[in-house]
Amino acid sequence: MAVIPATRAPNASGPSLGLGALLLAVALPSLQGCASCQSENNIIAKDPDDTDELQPEPEPVFENDWGQWLSMAAMRDGRPALAYYDATAGAAGFAIGTVKADGSVGWAHEEPDGYADDAGLDAGDRGKYTSLAVAANDEVWLSYRDNQNKTLRYARRDTAGVWTNGVADGCAGPTPDCGLFSSIALDASGNPVIAHYDAAAKHLRIARWNGSAFTAAVADEGTPPATTEGEAAAEANVGQFPRLRILNGVEYVSYYDVANGDLKLAVGTAGAWTPEIVDAEGDVGAWSDMQIVDGTVHLTYHDLGNEDLKYASGAPGGFTAEVVDNGQTVGADTALLISGSTIQILYHDGKNNDMRRAYRSADAWQNELITGDQGALGFHNEVLSTGGNNWAASYNYTDRTLWFSKLD
């Protein structure tokens, strides 16, 4: 998440509420490709009760604070699916959308982990740093952090829609602190692999499902930054904001080297990853997103030193990097969409708390406003192409809710 509006700091987890499955609906106005384009009423709201003709139109709010740490994927039939942190319940939430004839989307909410049980017992604060993957058979996997125990957890939804959950990585040491910024992907067998940041050891870790449980290992321990004579030695600190992709059996993880201020990429397989520096110009590499198309690795990320949006492309061993947007305080929470030769990047405008979109036109980058007057948006951005449409999702820190819309 990028800069939080000073007037609305993020919620601490509230009391746990055991909610049943809820049906939600969202209006999806079209977004035009112009510098001043803004969406209108596209905040998720509950469906009215069809049995009560006097029921007023629903307000674009609901009981729970849903939508932080968003992740999107598509079900086998093309329906969009969302995973997110429910800040009210301190839990990991999940919803599947159904696109209606009028273009709106109905959402069915589910409770994978962290909600109070039938006896009212609360499992604790779970669900931050959520990541989502859907297998070809519609099996769903989520990764997220157990904030109370400071470990990495997973939830698995089988093909019958039944959830199970457990610990994916407890990490090492007497005071573990891991599971941050998790990113999940499925290997060729449909087994989940999860990259995450170990804040206690300051390492990048990767956990993988072996058919019955997860095993984990350190993927990059990092290197301490160079110091001049007389300076105190600094520690290595690597692995924040990982983004994992798996292609043809090879794992690719982009991440931020905090100690050296670099964007890094680790490539390989279980226990045999080769890290390299993609961009070392200044302090760069936070909030990365990555896609691999026709052998080319595409990366978007934040230049923290200059507060710019950057893009790099190439292959292991050789990348070129460029500035996409050098506006005031831009470039966090990047989400990358590639369709054919078209590259689109959603990102946060920290000065105005809006979502912007950048795209390459000829040999130059252009950018435009996507959201404007709906509140503080552009946080936890996600983008998904499914069913012939491109969808964008974000968290609204003003209304404390989830924004979802179709992109042109």
State the pLDDT at residue 20: 31
Instruction: Please give the Cα distance from 275 to 204 (Å, whole number).
Output: 11
CA 70 from chain centre, in angstroms, equals 5
Residues 193 and 187 sit within 8 Å (Cβ to Cβ): yes
Task: Indicate the pTM of the whole model.
Answer: 0.86
Side chain identity at 251, as an amino acid letter? E
Residues 223 and 236 sit within 8 Å (Cβ to Cβ): yes
Domain range summary for the chain, segments of one domain joined by +: 23-407
Instruction: Please give the Cα distance from 196 to 174 (Å, whole number).
Output: 19
Q: May I ask the CATH class of domain 23-407?
A: mainly beta
State the pLDDT at residue 232: 82
State the pLDDT at residue 135: 97
pLDDT profile of the chain (408 residues), mean per 10: 36 32 33 33 38 38 81 97 96 94 88 93 95 97 97 98 98 92 97 98 97 96 88 91 97 98 96 96 98 97 98 97 96 94 95 95 91 87 94 94 89
- Could you give the maximum distance between any two Cα atoms of the chain, in Å? 78
Q: Enter the tokens of residue 10.
A: 């993020």
Residues 333 and 380 sit within 8 Å (Cβ to Cβ): yes
Q: How many CA atoms lie within 13 A of 217 on its CB side?
A: 9
C-alpha pair distances (Å), 361 with each of 303, 335, 344, 371: 22, 18, 10, 21
75-100 CB burial, b ≥16 within 10 A, e <16: eeeebbbbbbbbbbbbbbbbbbbebe
| Residue 363 burial class via C-beta count within 10 angstroms: exposed 0-12, middle 13-18, buried 19 and up | exposed
Q: Enter the tokens of residue 275.
A: 């890290």
